[in-house]
Amino acid sequence: MDSIQLTGIRCYGYTGYLPEEQVLGQWFEVDVTLWLDLSQAGKSDDIQHTLDYRSAITLIQKLVKDSKFLLIERLADTIAQALLQLPLVERVKLQLSKPAAPIPDFGGRITLEITRMKDSN
pLDDT in tens, the chain (121 residues): 899 999 999 999 999 999 999 999 999 999 999 999 999 999 999 999 999 999 999 999 999 999 999 999 999 999 999 999 999 999 999 999 999 888 888 989 999 999 999 985 5
DSSP annotation string for 40-70: HHHHH--GGGS--HHHHHHHHHHHHHH---S
pLDDT digits (tens, 9 = 90+) for 5-36: 999 999 999 999 999 999 999 999 999 999 99
| Active-site annotation, residues | 98
Q: Residue 50 and residue 73: Cα distance in Å, rounded?
A: 28
Q: Which residues contact 63 (CB under 8 A, 6 or more apart)?
A: 75, 78, 79, 82
